[in-house]
Amino acid sequence: MAEVKVAEKKESAFQFGKKERKLLIDPLNDNNPITVQVLGICSALAVTTLMDKAIVMAIAVIFVLALSNLFTSLLRAYIPKQVRMIVQLVIIATLVTVVELALKAIDYNIYKELSVFIGLIITNCIIMGRLEAFAMGNSPWKSFLDGIGNGLGYGIILIIVAFIRELFGKGTVLGAKVIGPNADYLINTSDSWLFGWYANNNLMVLFPSAMFVIGVLIWIHRGIINKSLVDVS
Amino acid sequence: MHNTNYIIRFVLIITAVVAIVLALMSNGLKPIHDKNEAIYNKKAILSAIADHLGKDLGSLSDDEIIEIFNNQISQTVIDMDGKVVDEQTMVSLGYKDGSAESVDMGKEMKKSEADRLLPLYTYKKADGEDFYVVNVRGKGLWDEIWGCIALEKDLNTIAGVAFDHKAETPGLGAEIKDNIAWKNQFTGKKLFTNDGEFKSVYVRKGGAKDPVYEVDGISGATITADGVTEMLARGIKYYQPYLNTIKQ
């Protein structure tokens, strides 16, 4: 009987039920790492001037977070409690180095632009936080999903902030000029009444603007999208 | 709680595993990394003469870039006195080979001024016109900045520039690399006065006042722009002893 039970448990290791979906969806809204937990702000400031950088950064963080969660969870029974943080850091640092080496081989231009920030994923508090709070106490499959969920929650905010900053700071979206004089498409003439009058706001390119944008996003998130986050009592 | 013995064993094993994985990956990818880096550096040189390639630089494949370098670009290394350094001397000095590409400007700038070697690329356009690409390197706000400056065959008019930087602020100092309109201002600017005196190009805060020797600054990036001015004046002057011998 005992053997049968073990087999059942193994079968259900990769199930995708309500709980698992919650692990993926929760960080996108109710438990967003940036707008609710206010973690990972440092990189949200640094790599959100342009959208392509933010997208690469988001992919890198999802990769590192999901796999470091997975490996930590697999090893969680064997990691000595006294050195668990060091071991977690070793896992994160290894994965970040893997990302860096891979990116250097795949797209050297983006690697050149992002190299410092890729290294700084190691210090991203979201990753360390998820390893400590989740992966050390949950099964590998759940930890993996939690990593993807939190990575997505982080990445989505990163891309929204980058979109706003790039649009108003440079008048471009993913490098294509959209508003302001000489826009590539949407308008053909430079004297268009539509968006031709727009002059780039240099403040949006500077780091403080990321703070303002994230602040406003948190406001919108709590005030309009998800009012349950605010404790009114 | 685990005992000390277990902890030490665990840490040693995990360190060994991680070290092996990373070493294998780094070694396995090294040829691709080296190739990417070489192409990246070649592209930087070509982007200075992008207007004269006859093709859009962004659309060139890696093989086409290497082909241009093999067929249309000749590489020379010169010293600060304006003499050509031959391959044998280069190798005896510890360079990979005698090509200009083996000269790393970052390392040269750390030597004393008299010992520096300078890479020079001569591009022969399809119609036979020559362009000279010189390398310059200086300091921006946070770290080093560098550039490739293409000169027309009169060795006076700038045919195009390409700048790069290590750590300038995105959107401000980094505009020297990203802002194409700003870069294009350099095209057609002159380095010498009518009397033949070296003047260089000045990046003027608040807007260029002289149409021939000045370009507009970048708002919010005064120190980086000053770095560009200084780098051009000093860096291009290094080449003058040699360029004078071509002129004659």
Q: How far apart are CA A74 and CA A135, in angstroms?
A: 9
**Residue A194, pLDDT above cutoff 80:** no
Q: How far apart are CA A15 and CA A27, in angstroms?
A: 20
A108–B40 CB contact, under 8 Å? yes
b or e along A174-184 (b: 16 or more beta carbons within 10 Å of the residue's beta carbon)?
eeebbbbbebe
How confident is the model over A78-88, as a mean pLDDT? 91
User: What single letter denotes the amino acid at residue B103?
Assistant: V
What confidence category does residue A105 fall into, taking pLDDT thresholds of 50, 70 and 90? very high
Closest to B37 (Cβ–Cβ): which among A82, A108, A169? Answer: A108
A98–B29 CB contact, under 8 Å? no
pTM exceeds 0.80, yes or no: no
Chain A / chain B CB contacts < 8 angstroms: 63
Q: What is the pLDDT of residue A182?
A: 63
A170–B171 CB contact, under 8 Å? yes
Name every residue in A having a CB less than 8 A away from some CB of B.
Answer: 49-50, 78-83, 86-87, 90, 94, 97-98, 101-102, 104-105, 108-109, 112, 116, 169-170, 202, 205-206
Q: What is the pLDDT of residue A153?
A: 93
A108–B7 CB contact, under 8 Å? no
In chain B, which residues have pLDDT < 50?
none
Q: How far apart are CA B242 and CA B78, in angstroms?
A: 7
Alpha helices in chain A (DSSP H): 2-11, 18-25, 41-46, 51-75, 84-106, 108-119, 125-133, 140-170, 207-220
Q: Which residues, in sequence order, are bridge partners of residue B190?
A: B157
Tokens 């990593």 correspond to A147
The domain limits of chain A are 39-226
How confident is the model over A208-223, as a mean pLDDT? 91
Q: What is the DSSP string of A95-132?
A: HHHHHHHHHHHH-HHHHHHHHHHHHGGGG-HHHHHHHH
- The proportion of chain A whose per-residue pLDDT surpasses 90, expressed as a percent, equals 39
Q: What is the pLDDT of residue A193?
A: 57
Q: What is the pLDDT of residue B82?
A: 87
- The proportion of chain A whose per-residue pLDDT surpasses 70, expressed as a percent, equals 87
Q: What is the pLDDT of residue A13?
A: 65
B7–A79 CB contact, under 8 Å? no
B220–A206 CB contact, under 8 Å? yes
Q: Is B12 on the interface with A (CB under 8 A)?
A: no
Q: Which helix (H) or strand (E) holds B144?
A: strand B144-151
Q: Is the dihedral of CA A10, A14, A16, A20 positive or negative?
A: positive
Chain A residue nearest residue B7, CA to CA: A80
Contacts of B10 in chain A (CB under 8 A): 78-80, 83, 87
Q: What is the pLDDT of residue A37?
A: 86
Contacts of B177 in chain A (CB under 8 A): none
Tens-place pLDDT, residues A1-60: 444 444 444 545 677 888 888 888 888 888 888 888 888 888 788 788 888 889 989 999
Token pair, residue A224, equals: 């309009």
B 22-81 residues with CB < 8 A to A: 22, 25-26, 29, 32-33, 36-37, 39-40
How confident is the model over A119-141, as a mean pLDDT? 90
CA distances from B9 to A74, A80, A81, A90, B162 (A): 18, 11, 14, 15, 53
The domain limits of chain B are 10-247
B11–A87 CB contact, under 8 Å? yes
Q: What is the pLDDT of residue B227?
A: 94
Chain B residue nearest residue A110, CA to CA: B40
Q: What is the pLDDT of residue B181?
A: 87
Chain B residue nearest residue A53, CA to CA: B170
Chain B residue nearest residue A101, CA to CA: B26
How is the beta sheet containing B117-124 ordered, strand by strand? B73-79, B117-124, B130-139, B144-151, B158-165
B36–A108 CB contact, under 8 Å? yes
